[in-house]
A and B are shown apart, each in its own frame.
Chain A
Amino acid sequence: MTNETNPKLIDILLVEDNKADSRLTQEFFKDSKIKNSLFIVEDGVEAINFLRKRGKFIDVPCPDLILLDLNLPQKDGREVLAEIKADDNLKRIPVVIITSSKAEEDILKSYNNHANCFITKPLDLNQFENIVRSIEDFWMTIVKLPKNE
């Protein structure tokens, strides 16, 4: 917001095992008015490796926003969330839980683990698009976040 003339490139990490789903998200972010680069990993282990810049992720940037699905292979989203929020270097990155679960238990647990917000994936495409736009608006333009190191 401070330098509108040279808009900053926003890095987003999407943790999603369902290719159809991640593709859909990708489609919407493609149309975004905010310049962004969307990184996609397919399981919890990769997500952590990405965030800690391990292995093949040695050169990746630290994301400005994490979109995290809960049901993931190997290490599921709940564990990833707990790990991020327990890590002093990562805990300030906003984590948006975006999942098909509506379970009260998941919602409560996610917030208890300091998720920044919890969104249930809607069935309707237009609603989904609206959500992506809301995320953009809210997390990428409205919210003031601490600067990454």
Chain B
Amino acid sequence: MNRFCLILSINRICWFLILFLIPTILLPQSSNYSFNKLDLYANLNYLLPLLIIIIFALWAFSYRLEKKIKKLVQSRTSDRKEAELLLMENEKRYLKAQRLGKVGNWEYNIQSNSFWASDAAKHIFGFTPDDSSFSFEEVESCIPERERVHSAIIDLIKHGIKYNLEYTVLPKNGGEPRVVNSIGELEYDLNGDPFKVVGVILDITSRKNSEKEIQESENKYRTLVESSHDLIWSINTNDIITFVNKASKNVLGYEPDELIGKSFLEFIPNQLPENSIQPFSKTSNNLASLLEYDSKFFHKDGHIVILSTNASFIRDEENSIIGITGMSIDITEQKHAEEKLLKAMSDLEHSNKELEQFAYVASHDLQEPLRMVASYTQLLGKRYKDKLDSDANDFIAFAIDGAVRMQTLINDLLAFSRISSKVKPFTSVNLSEVLGEALMSLQSIIIENSAIILNDNLPSVLGDDSQLTRLFQNLIGNAIKYRRDIPPEIHISAEEMKSEWKISVQDNGIGIEKDFYEKIFIIFQRLHSRDKYPGTGIGLAICKRIVEMHGGRIWLESEKGHGSTFYFTIPIKGNYSNDE
């Protein structure tokens, strides 16, 4: 550029000289050579135009030259400016890259003990770009493990050991601790001596955090899987077991190592249940997305373990199946318990049938000889009445009474056993109708005792009509039987409770002491002598059984000498838990 300026200056000076010299050349000539004035004028006339032409030509040439030079200078200047702009732009890009990448660079001059760091590097350590306090010592103060870092740099400088460290930085500005990766290398001077360490520093905090999170999550799931008592496993598409947790030892008797790498088909019976995992080679085309099934597996000691499995497919990034993973619960015990329960139920059914058979045999075969005893004793008494003495007549009477009682007992016992062994399906039963039936069958004793029976409207319930008839028969029969010397008054009513009907049978009879409230429901339990109140003591036991069969309860309230009230409940229709 300076050269161009010089040329321009010279050009101007030349012009000045030419314009100034021409008159001086011409004027002294005229004074010195006046005698030759004519010649001079003649020459002048000849030279002047020539001179003017020369001067003009020179001027034109120099003008063009100057213009060209200016243009050249101008273009050189803009090139430089462009270059400067580009440089600035690159600088910006570089800074931005450092900021975004959280990468900074630094230099440590060994000889001058000076330290330089890029803005991004300063930022990592918590300094602003123009922080005046920035120094090597300040930076070191941000590093809790400064000794390790220091000795690594010394190792690099003295022994040329590679410098590549991860350490924690507590930023100067009090920001969150950061994890950095610092890498450095040596630069040598012309003598081959190290004079500078140049390096980069990377902020790897977020990477470290996510690595930590992944590690924690991995640990969490690994612990879950390993501590699970249930079997967790995976297989690949060649039916090979690729993973199994430690539960395999407990559940199957095998250590995980004994299973991993083997085909699961080796451990299962030939017949696979239809909905279970089939060998991949056979059914890979029609696999469902999720499998839930029970299957069998051979335990190491040879017995069969029943597993309840829940499995799903493992897919790769292209969504194609690469295996199956699942969880299996040992339900062997449960299955055995189920089988036992089923067997117990069928045994129970069987024994119920036998009981029914027994009841029938009892009703016929036990009564047959009894009837003979009674009939022939009676016949004896009848035919030989006049030939026997009064003692003989008494004995015959006792024998007959015993036989009759025995038969009543057998009949009652049968009735009691039939309540539970002969259950009809429950139907809707109108209790008022059932009560009517019961009163009909009690007609003779009602009339005999001049009993007054009152009843409210009774509801319909779900039940067995003949059993419910019997229930009323027994309760009302008792109410009449255990009367005082006034005519029996019996009141039957119903009250709607939350989920059940409460039916009451109230009498004005002899009443029952509180001590016996529970006892009277026990089979063959009697409170009175047979002479006073005949009976087998089974009536209320039957009542209790009937009420319980209907899902209700029975109890009583009483005042000795004033009367008793028997209560029983029956669920309101639709509240049955078992609809038999």
Contacts and interface: CB of A to CB of B under 8 A. Distances in A.
Query: Interface centre among B370, B375, B378, B407, by most A CB within 10 Å?
Result: B375
A20 B375 CA distance: 9
Given A121-B371, A123-B403, A125-B382, A103 B376 contact: no
Contact of B375 (A101, A102, A125): A125
Contacts of A128: 375
Name the interface size band of chain A.
Answer: 10 to 19
A103 B363 contact: yes
Contacts of A71: 364
Contacts of B374: 123-125
A83 interface: no
A141 interface: no
A103 B359 CA distance: 10
Contacts of B368: 18, 21, 100
B285 to A, nearest CB: 59
The secondary structure that dominates the B interface is helix
B332 to A, nearest CB: 44
A112 interface: no
Contacts, number: 45
A101 B371 contact: no
A102 B407 contact: no
A24 interface: yes
B364 A123 contact: no
Interface string B364-394: 1001101110111011001000000000000
A2 interface: no
Contacts of B403: 123
A99 B365 CA distance: 11
Contact of A100 (B367, B376, B382): B367
B54 to A, nearest CB: 159
A99 B363 CA distance: 11
B360 interface: yes
A67 to B, nearest CB: 16
Interface in B336-376: 360, 363-364, 367-368, 370-372, 374-376
A101 B371 CA distance: 12
A73 B548 CA distance: 40
Contacts of A125: 374-375, 378-379, 382
B372 A126 contact: no
Contacts of B372: 18, 20-21
B260 interface: no
B404 interface: yes
A102 B363 contact: yes
Nearest to A23: B376
Contacts of B404: 123-124
A126 B371 CA distance: 12
Contacts of A21: 368, 371-372
Query: Interface centre among A71, A123, A128, by most B CB within 10 Å?
Result: A123
A56 B195 CA distance: 144
A101 B378 contact: no
A99 B403 CA distance: 18
B378 A124 contact: yes
B370 A123 contact: yes
Given A123-B367, A123-B403, A126-B378, 7 more contacts: A18-B368, A21-B372, A100-B371, A101-B360, A102-B411, A123-B407, A125-B374
Interface of B: 360, 363-364, 367-368, 370-372, 374-376, 378-379, 382, 403-404, 407, 411
Interface of A: 18, 20-21, 24, 27, 71, 99-103, 121, 123-126, 128
